[in-house]
Structure 1
Amino acid sequence: MKECPYGEKCYRKNPIHFGEFSHAHLDAIYEKGNGSGDYEIPAKYSSEMIHTQLKLLEKLFPKAAAKKEEEAHSSSSKPPVTAPIASGSSSSGSLDTKPSGSSSSRPAASQDTSNLAKKQKLNAKNIKDYIPVVIEKGGMAKKLERAAPYNMFLTAITDSKPTHAEPLSITLQEILDESLGEIESTVQINFMVDIGWLLGHYYFAGILDKPLLVLYGDESPELLSIGKFKPQVTAIRVRMPTPFATSHTKMMFLGYTDGSMRVVISTANLYEDDWHNRTQGLWISPKLPALPEDADTGAGESLTGFKQDLMLYLVEYKISQLQPWIARIRKSDFSAINVFFLGSVPGGHRESSVRGHPWGHARLGSLLSKHATPIDDRIPVICQSSSIGSLGANVQAWIQQDFVNSLKKDSTPVGKLRQMPPFKMIYPSFGNVSGSHDGMLGGGCLPYGKNTNDKQPWLKDYLQQWKSSDRYRSRAMPHIKSYTRLNLEDQSVYWFVLTSANLSKAAWGCFNKNSNIQPCLRIANYEVGVLFLPRFVTGEDTFPLGNNRDGVPAFPLPYDVPLTPYAPDDKPFLMDYLQGLY
């Protein structure tokens, strides 16, 4: 059996991965234990993580079962019977790749690869052993219909039972639900992809054999060779022009057998932890039917220009395997989409006479200046993300001069004297994380480091706690990223952005302010989001906040308002606090 390429840093928690790869550090601990949860775990490891992984080994390679099999084999000529790990029966539809070779560090029960294969198949047949929150199939279409006009969801939280039944909670399995359409092919564009975990969901959705194109950003040895084992999967790593740039977009396309398609824009990576106890956001498009063959080339566009902006974004990848999907988008009817596509692509970008600013925070500013209702300058710009970049020596350096300067824009006529609105930043405090469902490990999705934080002490004056009791997610740390302006006095939301982009120059862009040339916005990352503007979503000037207004549903804000500022003794959670845990 192959050794896991991540070694001691393996964060996986799914049984398929542990059936395919051995882990010498886990095997050593497992061998010394009694097989019933009593282990001596070295201090250098996360006790919680290792315990979870050892439980999987107990399930896949039970020592007691191995002993019984050995005794049965020696006392009878009949072949040994493999104890089922979960209810179900073996099937040729197993999603597992065939293990090769063996590892002497594995427990005795793992040496028989045929028994292992049977166990994996049996395990894979029980969806509740694989996916912690299972919603009955067939209901997603009605759930999406009821989510109109916003179509915005938060992921279900494993340890927060109320979210399992919340109308605007969703699981990955529901996105693949047959009630939304019969899937014929898909595209997954994401930063981190655990392909075994993802294919497990495809297996249970009945689409494991359908073509899947994966564009990924983070290094993944498993994806490099996935085509050998799963020929229906094409995996391409997105190459970045600069060393510290990131292909950070989280987006999927679902193609259906009737020729229609759907776009999903998300904040979640495609691996288990991001869909477990972390708050994530998703926007799901309506079903986008195929246009008639003789349709005009400009047909099927939305009032927001979503289709053109999406195609222009995809062209920036310069990946030939995307061409059939760009063609499919061109031939699809996007007129039902009521949000704006908001992207970031690497490079230097200048304003054009046709589109204005094309990407990043400048693009958001262009859209707000055209379409946002006039907003009082006292209304704050509220930012919320799961990481924070290097923002400069003071709040003016980039936050005010670049970022808030774009996000403060509205359709007020040019010439009126304007003030800089207040800036507020929602980011989990140390107390938020330590009290989370996963304890300190809940901060694993918050990669903000001490080195950066020490250079911007001014930021603490603007920080707000993570609180989401109205959505049952105060203890589910936010990997979601969102930006908005809202007025608590009249309970109104002026606009809202859901995006993959954290609060950073790399994600949103930084202007080159050379006075001799037209300002150039430098962006490092690929990012994707959607902008909700009331005039296009509800036909009103603002969204209602908190309660429905004249039949218009309240906007589903992911956190509680009013916001809760950091207390004097609060401090932001820093990734460095986890060093003693990993």
Structure 2
Amino acid sequence: MKECPYGEKCYRKNPIHFGEFSHAHLDAIYKKGNASGDYDIPAKYSSEMIQTQLRLLEKLFPKSEVKKENKANVSGSKLPVNAPIRSGTSTSEFSNSNPSGSSTSRSAGPDDTSNLAKKQKLNAKNIRDYIPVVVEKGGMAKKLERAAPYNMFFTAITDSKPTHSEALSITLQEILDESLGEIESTVQINFMVDIGWLLGHYYFAGILSKPLLVLYGDESPELLSISKFKPQVTAIRVKMPTPFATSHTKMMFLGYSDGSMRVVISTANLYEDDWHNRTQGLWISPKLPALPEDADTGAGESQTGFKQDLMLYLVEYKISQLQPWIARIRKSDFSAINVFFLGSVPGGHREGAVRGHPWGHARLASLLSKHAAPIDDRIPVICQSSSIGSLGVNVQAWIQQDFVNSLKKDSTPVGKLRQMPAFKMIYPSFGNVSGSHDGMLGGGCLPYGKNTNDKQPWLKDHLQQWKSNDRYRSRAMPHIKSYTRFNLEDQSVYWFVLTSANLSKAAWGSFNKNSNIQPCLRIANYEVGVLFLPRFVTGEDTFPLGNNRDGVPAFPLPYDVPLTPYAPDDKPFLMDYLHG
């Protein structure tokens, strides 16, 4: 059996992983433990993590069977084919399993058969051992219906019980719920993908054998070889033009057996921590039926042009495996979608005659100029993200000249003298993180560093605490990213963006201001979001804030208002605190 490449740093909590890889440090501790499950864990290890891994070993290799299991491993036999997955590396066991729990490609010996029967019983009982928040199946379609007209959700928080039954809380299992349709194939486009954890969800959703296309950004050794073990999984790492660029998009396509499909745009990576105690946002499209065969090429478009913008975005990847999905999107009816698609793609981009600016903050400016109701200049631009880029020596350098200058746009006729609105940035303070469900480790999703922060001391004057008491998420650190303008006096929201894009030039773009040529917007990353504009969602100029208005539900902001500015002794959480 191969030694786990992560060695003592292995954080896996996936039973399948332990059937493929050995862990000398765990084996040593497990061997010395007694039958009651008492272990002497060296101080250098995380006791909680090691205890979790040892408990999994107990379930998979009971003390009475350790010798027998070790012999089986030496002879090439591995963990039973349908052991469930929680987090970690996928293995060849997946190529031998299907959602019904029967072996499909290898013959099992007597020991394998008896062990398989045991593990199948374990699977049926213990989904909660692998997925922290489990909601009864079959109810997601009604939940989505009740979330209209916004279709915006937040991930359920493991350690915040009220969120488990909150109307707008969601789990990954619910997104895959059969009430939304019988899934025949899926696409997952994301930055970080723990394929074992993801396939665990597919297993419990009964779709493990269905074709899955994964486009990922972060390096993942497990994904390089997944097709050997899971032929129905195609994994492609997105190639980036520069070393510092990131394929940061978080989007999924669900294809259903009746020919329809669905689009989900999210802020969550596909690994356990992001769906555990972190605040994430998701937008889920209505079901998008297939168009008639003889439909016109332009048929099935939404008022917001979502379908065209999505296809133009996907073409930018230049990945042939996406072509069937682009064709499927073209032949689907997107007319029920009421939000705008907002993307960023790497490169230099100039304004076009038809679509205006195609990507980044300039694209948002084009849409706001056309469709946003006039907004008083005193209304601030509110930004909120899980990381902050290098923004310049002062607030004017990029925030005002580029970013806020785009986000202040509205449909007021050109020519009126306008002021620069205030800029406010919601970002967790040190106190927010230290008081989180996971303590200081709650800051693991907030990669803002001291080197960058030291170069922009002016930013502190604009920082706001993370508070989400109304949604029971104050202690669930935000990996969500959102941008908006709202008026507390008349309780209205003018527009709202949910996106994968953090507050950075790489994500949103920076203008190359050469006076001799048309300004070029330089973008480094792939990002995707949605823009909620009232005229297209509710037919009004603003969304209600806080309370329903004339039968229109209040817009679900992820945080509490009014905002809470940093106190003089507050400081933003920096990733360096985790390493010091």
Are the structure 2 counterparts of residues 164 and 107 from structure 1 closer, same or farther at C-alpha, using a change threshold of 3 Å?
Answer: farther
CA distance in 1, matches of 2:335, 2:78: 65
Query: TM-score, with normalisation over the residues of structure 2?
Result: 0.90
Residue 16 of structure 1 and its aligned partner are, at CA, apart by 3.0
Kindly tell me: are residues 100 and 174 of structure 1, through their superposed partners in 2, closer, same or farther at Cα, counting changes over 3 Å? closer
CA distance in 1, matches of 2:486, 2:400: 18
CA distance in 1: counterparts of 2:68 and 2:380, whole angstroms: 67
Post-superposition offset of 1:225: 0.6
Q: Is this contact kept in 1: 2:12–2:88, CA < 8 A? A: no
Q: Against the structure 1 CA distance between its residues 381 and 9, is the aligned structure 2 distance closer, same or farther, given a 3 Å change threshold?
A: farther
Shift in Å at residue 318 of structure 1? 0.1
When structure 1 is superposed on structure 2, of 46-55 and 459-468 the one drifting more is: 46-55
In the aligned structure 2, how far is the partner of 1:81 from the partner of 1:497?
43
Task: Work out whether residues 89 and 122 of structure 1, in 8 Å CA contact, stay in contact via their aligned partners in 2.
Answer: no
Deviation (angstroms), 1:323: 0.2
Q: Runs of 4+ in structure 1 displaced over 2 angstroms? A: 1-126
How far does the alpha carbon of each residue in 1:151-172 deviate from its partner, in whole angstroms, 9 at most, with x for none? Answer: 0000001111110100100000
Q: 1:85 to 1:8 in 2, by over 3 A?
A: closer
Q: Which residue of 2 aligns with 1:130?
A: 130
Distance 1:522 1:88 in 2: 36
Decide whether the 8 Å contact of 1:110 with 1:116 is kept in 2.
no
**Structure 1 residues 358 and 69, CA gap change in structure 2 (3 angstroms):** closer
| Larger deviation, residues 50-59 vs 402-411 | 50-59
CA apart distance, 1:51 = 3.9
Aligned-residue offset at 1:453: 1.1
Question: Shift of residue 568 of structure 1?
Answer: 1.2
Number of residue pairs matched by the alignment: 580
Q: Structure 1: how far apart are the matches of 2:10 and 2:539?
A: 49
**Structure 1 stretch displaced more, 91-100 or 185-194:** 91-100
Q: How many angstroms does 1:20 deviate by?
A: 3.1
- Aligned CA distance change for structure 1 residues 341 and 32 (closer, same or farther; 3 Å): same
Match of 2:248 in 1: 248
DSSP-derived class of the 1:322 partner: helix
Q: Structure 1 387/64 Cα, relative in aligned 2: closer, same or farther at 3 Å?
A: farther
1:122 CA displacement:
3.5
Q: Please give the secondary structure, in 2, of the residue aligned with 1:521.
A: strand
Offset at 1:361?
Answer: 0.5
Summarize the alignment of residues 410-425 of structure 1 with structure 2, pairs less than 5 Å apart: 410-425=410-425
Query: Contact 1:253/1:262 (CA < 8 Å) preserved in 2?
Result: yes
Distance 1:524 1:90, change over 3 A: closer
How far residue 193 of structure 1 moved from its aligned partner, in angstroms, is 0.6
CA contact (8 A) 1:28 1:105 kept: no
Q: 1:226 Cα deviation (Å)?
A: 0.6
3-state SS of paired residue (1:369): helix
Deviations 1:389-428 (A, max 9, x none): 1111111111111111100110011011111111111111
CA–CA distance in 2 between the matches of 1:105 and 1:323? 30
Moved more, 98-107 or 306-315: 98-107
Offset, 1:21: 2.8
Distance 1:522 1:102, change over 3 A: same
In the TM superposition, what whole-angstrom CA distance separates every residue of 1:463-514 from its partner, at most 9, and x where no partner exists? 1111111001111111110000011111100000000001111100011011
Query: What SS does the corresponding residue of 2:470 show, helix, strand or coil?
Result: coil
Residue segments in structure 1 that go unaligned for 5+ positions in a row? none
1:548/1:554 contact within 8 Å kept: yes
Cα separation, 1, equivalents of 2:32 and 2:108: 13
Q: Is the 8 A contact 1:69 1:81 kept in 2?
A: no
Q: Which moved more, 1:3-12 or 1:100-109?
A: 100-109
Kept in 1, the 8 Å contact 2:99–2:206? The answer is: no
For the pair 1:526 / 2:526, whether they are aligned, the reply is yes
Could you say what secondary structure the match of 2:294 adopts? coil
Go from structure 1 to structure 2 and tell me whether the alpha carbon gap of 1:398 and 1:143 turns closer, same or farther (over 3 Å shift): same
Q: What is the SS of the residue equivalent to 1:112?
A: helix
Evaluate the alpha carbon distance shift between residue 39 and residue 382 of structure 1 in structure 2; reply closer, same or farther with a 3 A threshold.
farther
- Which secondary structure state, in structure 1, belongs to the residue aligned with residue 252 of structure 2? strand
Q: What is the Cα deviation at residue 430 of structure 1?
A: 1.0
Whether contact under 8 Å (1:59, 1:85) holds in the other structure is: no
User: Whole-Å Cα distance in 2 between the matches of residues 486 and 448 of structure 1?
Assistant: 26
CA distance in 1, matches of 2:139, 2:106: 42
Partners of 1:517 and 1:436 in 2: CA distance: 49
In structure 2, runs of 5+ residues without a counterpart are none
Q: Contact between 1:157 and 1:164, CA under 8 Å: does it hold in 2? A: yes
Cα RMSD between the aligned structures? Answer: 5.3
How much does 1:14 deviate?
3.1
Check the 8 A contact 2:210/2:232 in 1, yes or no: yes
Relative to structure 1, is the Cα distance of residues 555 and 85 closer, same or farther in structure 2, using a 3 angstrom cutoff? closer
For residue 92 of structure 2, give the secondary structure of its aligned residue in structure 1: coil
Give the conservation status (yes or no) of the 8 Å contact 1:482–1:499: yes
Equivalent residues of 2:154, 2:169 under 8 A apart: yes
Alpha-carbon offset, residue 74 of structure 1: 20
1:89 to partner: Cα distance: 23
Q: Give the CA deviation at 1:26.
A: 3.7
C-alpha contact 1:61 1:107 (8 A) present in aligned 2: no
Q: Residues 78 and 277 (structure 1 numbering): CA distance in 2 closer, same or farther, change over 3 Å?
A: closer
Does the aligned pair in 2 maintain the 1:87–1:123 contact within 8 Å? Answer: no
| Structure 1 equivalent of residue 22 of structure 2 | 22
Matches within 5 A, 1:279-358: 279-358=279-358
